Amino acid sequence: MFKRIIFTGLLFGFTVLASAQYTGVVNDDSTDTPSEFKRNYDLLLSKKGIVTTDNGFSDQTVLFDDSVYIKRLHSLPTEMELVFNPAVKAQIELYAGKRKNQVSYMLGEGKYYFPIFEQVLDKEGLPLELKYLPVIESALNPVIRSRVGASGLWQFMAATGKMYDLEVNSLVDERFDPHKSTVAAVKYLKDLYAKYNDWNLVIAAYNCGPGRVDKAISRSGGQTDYWALYPYLPKETRGYVPIFIAATYIMNYFQEHNITPMNCPKPATMDSLIVNKTVHFQQISDVLNIPVDDIRKFNPQFKKDVIPGDYKGYTLNLPINNLTDFIKNEDAIYGYKKDELLPHRKVAGLDVVGGAPLGASTITYRVKRGDTLARIAGTYGVTSSQIKQWNGLSSNKLSVGRRLKIYRQQQELQTNVLADNNSALSSQSDTTVLSVSGLTRTVAVPKTTVSYYKVRRGDTWAGIAKKNKASIADIKSWNNIKSNKLIAGTSLKIQKTEYVEIQEAVKLPEPQLSVVLIDSTYTADVINNYVKNIVRDESSLPLVRISPTDGDEQQERNRMDDTKIIYHKVKIGETMTQIASRYNVSKKDIMSWNKLSSNIAKVGQRLLILLPDRQESGTSNMGDTGVKETGSKTPLTSTL
């Protein structure tokens, strides 16, 4: 009997102690649930078909005495203040009762989203319990939008999102990107904590904005305790912190309330790559046989099913097996129905008068037997509609011998023709650059730095690769790892290569080297057949010296004039033997041209290939490359 009295007294004292953690009286009647919180759950119910219990609690609802809630909240390992009061109790019992099915759903979704949140929070040193904010903000719905325009998991307004480097435009809204929006939200929370130094005030400010919290502090006479500010806060914000505490409780003690995580299947292993060309989801879907809805689910940041990679590089997220297929079929994906699915990408920038692109140069093309508008358009990187507009054609029929005007940007023409030839005039040396003008020029020299990443518990290969902006294969290669096992505490070597600009002036040897430029039609055919392998920006390439051998300078210059230079990007599964066979050269030549010490071809590596001029072959094609001879060899200009 004596023990029972002591135990009852301790429980009573514990309850009083917990209630004393806040100032001000909070009653059941003062509990205000934010309207957006209710709306988010209603949308969740209708979208997922989740059943709720509206007429009281079901038979399986399990509730506890206040003392149990107090003890459990007190036991959670967190630096955040998790008080218990009637407002918190009301929200806990709402989660455990009427909303237990939604809790089940969010526990299932959380298996996918919570690790993303935890990784960013841990990196910035913030409490991991903040991962439950999106439970309140969006019900873990990545594409939800509020009545006032707040969007995504973290419910950013457009202006706030842009302040934290989220891109918002007609095609892309990174507020819907789970990873990038989390990075922005964590930065915002960190800034709010630097201002208030109190996590309850931070959570309140996240809901209503720091301006309203500042007003509440002013009206309260300078109080900085959340519970002292409670009566002065906006009505909806008063319930926000109690809901957060209740969400933290139920996400940790769901089993005690007979709640089981719902099965919400997500791909076990995801990975990403940077897409640098504009591509439509339908192109990816049809070529790789992936449902468009799945691509949307993995990439909700793209509003119109278009990744505008021509503007800048964007991240594409796919299951790792689909990502491998994407890399293997990249050319086929970009070329598949591009005129049909991406028509507006080609006609932008047309002059109002005559439809010619501003600053473009004119090419005159004579129609040959067997030509079609689509083939000619593909050769010159334009659309059939543009050619028809430029030449006043009403149909797709072409007459043999007809001359067609084709407009191309002058800068693009020069880049396509000169990029490969310029590459041959550079040197692999860190300090030497050959220039046909003898003038000072800027050279990009690769500089590699090494850092180390310490593996944490819960890390995945995909997460580590994304965090360090590298591929899984590269990280394994740098660390000589073959298995997929990750051991917490292991340090992984990470290499990063940056290009440093160096100004150099080099005197040319006499006589000067000259480069004869091939005609525009032939160049277009080369580009069309080697579009994947040609590198248009020489600053991103290793610099290669092409020097005379054994004093026979004239013979070397003649050979260079009769040589075409391309760059081949190594694809998955390719070997040096296969590449050499494709271009009818030897492995030793490729190793010599690229100054390689090993005959192993690395995926993504760009290899310099020197091809014999078409005149040497004496035929209408060049080996098995499919580059056909068309037109006369009229130089655009005689020297660089």
Q: Is 565 helix (H, G, I), strand (E, B) or coil?
A: strand
What DSSP state is assigned to residue 210? H
Q: Is 271 helix (H, G, I), strand (E, B) or coil?
A: strand
Cα separation, 178 vs 297, in Å, equals 11
Q: Are 620 and 629 in contact (CB under 8 A)?
A: yes
Cα separation, 113 vs 107, in Å, equals 10
Token pair of 549, please? 């051998």
Out of 93, 137, 330, 538, the active site residue is 137
Q: Are 382 and 346 in contact (CB under 8 A)?
A: yes
Q: Which residues contact 307 (CB under 8 A, 6 or more apart)?
A: 275, 278, 279, 280, 281, 299, 314, 316
Q: Which residues contact 461 (CB under 8 A, 6 or more apart)?
A: 269, 472, 475, 484, 486
Q: Identify any residues that bridge with 454 across adjacent strands, giving them in sequence order.
A: 491
Helices 66-75 and 2-19 pack at an angle, to 10 degrees, of: 60
**Torsion sign across C-alpha atoms 5, 8, 14, 19:** negative
Cα separation, 290 vs 293, in Å, equals 8
137 given a catalytic annotation:
yes
Phi-psi region of 184 (alpha: psi -120 to 50; beta: other; left: phi over 0): alpha
Catalytic residues: 137
